[in-house]
Amino acid sequence: MSMERVKGFVETPEQRKVSLKPDVVLNRGVQGLGWVVLVAWLVFTIVTILWLVASSLKSNQQFFGSPFKLPSPLVPSNYSQAWSVSNMGDYFMRSVGIDVLATAVAVALSIPAAYVLSRSTLNLSRWIVNGFAVGIGIPIQIALVPLYVALSWTNLVNSMMGLGLVYVGMTIPLTVFLLTGFLSTVPTELEEAARVDGASFMGTLFRIIVPTARSGIATAFIVGIVGLWNEFIVAYTVLTTQTKFTLPVGLYSLYGSLQYTSDWTGLMAAFIITTFPILIAFAILSRHIISGLTLGVER
């Protein structure tokens, strides 16, 4: 074997010196630690989900007698009982309705705002976009008291309308931020051609921009629903009647009733009903969600 080929496999003194620099060693150590933490968290998550699924298919006697064994025989009736007897079906459909409707309204309001911000050349527009980005990170807990007072003044406490309005306000910062990033990637030549043909502002927006950016709009819609699906604190504050509870609040009330029924396997089935739809949706649409967040950051 020639020396040239050996050099391709044997590290030269210069390469060894570079690889032993403190910053290089530190970076490799941090990357290695990051991979260890990531794999450990992945294993923990998978084991937890599998244990949850297995527990939801057991009887209460099996669960307390052998909590870490596979269910034998299977008890699928836990799901039907959680869906009908524990009212999880009503909570589920109510959550789907309010989340989809609030997100749709937020996206519809965000499209014109994001379009103007994406085409504006003023420095103020960038500050406005950054303001929406800051609004995403503001915890809703600090606004619970003024929100409750405002809803009380308008007689919207314990109403789906009041909860929906709050959800729209919570979702708009995220959807405006994401859609601004998407719409900024749409070529301006399309709009110029539409204006030459005599199209108005609204005609250009809904006939040219919206169809072109439909994938971005769909991503913003999906991200908005994902953000609202597990929302608990606002719904728990606004809603006081069980017949109006959303899925997270209904699950919490079911947990509270366990002190009287001790139906833990039914609760596990309710956990699956609550978490698996959004997990499946996120697994299928994760690529679109990540691309939407990336476009928003690049903006």
The string of pLDDT tens digits covering residues 119-143 is 887 778 888 888 888 888 888 888 8
Cα(289)–Cα(286) distance, rounded to whole angstroms? 5
**Domain boundaries, given as residue ranges, for the chain:** 3-56, 78-298
Give pLDDT, residue 6. Answer: 47
Residue with token string 């029924």: 261
Question: Minimal CA–CA distance to 246: which of 94, 116, 101?
Answer: 94
The pLDDT value recorded for residue 67 is 82
User: Is CATH 3.40.50.2300 the right assignment for the domain spanning 78-298?
Assistant: no
pTM: 0.80
CA gap 33, 117 in Å, rounded = 41
Give the H or E element holding residue 84: none
Find out whether 168 and 109 touch, Cβ atoms under 8 Å: yes
- Sort residue 218 into left (φ over 0), alpha (ψ -120 to 50) or beta: alpha
pLDDT of residue 234: 93
DSSP summary character for residue 12? P
CA-angle at 74, arms to 73 and 75, nearest 5°: 115
pLDDT at 178: 87
Token duo for residue 227? 């953000």
What pLDDT does 109 receive?
Answer: 93
From first CA to last CA, the distance across the chain in angstroms is 53
* DSSP E strands, the chain: none
What per-residue confidence (pLDDT) applies to 214?
A: 82
Three-state SS at 87: coil
With CA atoms as reference, report the closest residue to 251 among 108, 82, 16: 82
42-75 burial by CB neighbour count: b if 16+ within 10 A, else e?
eeeeeeeeeeeebbbbbeeebbeeeeeeebeeeb
Residue whose tokens read 């995403």: 136
Tokens of 95: 């959550």
Q: Are 229 and 95 contacting, i.e. CB atoms less than 8 angstroms apart?
A: yes
Q: Name residues of the chain where pLDDT drops below 50.
A: 1-7, 296-299
Estimate to the nearest angstrom the gap between the alpha carbon of 111 and the chain centroid.
Answer: 20
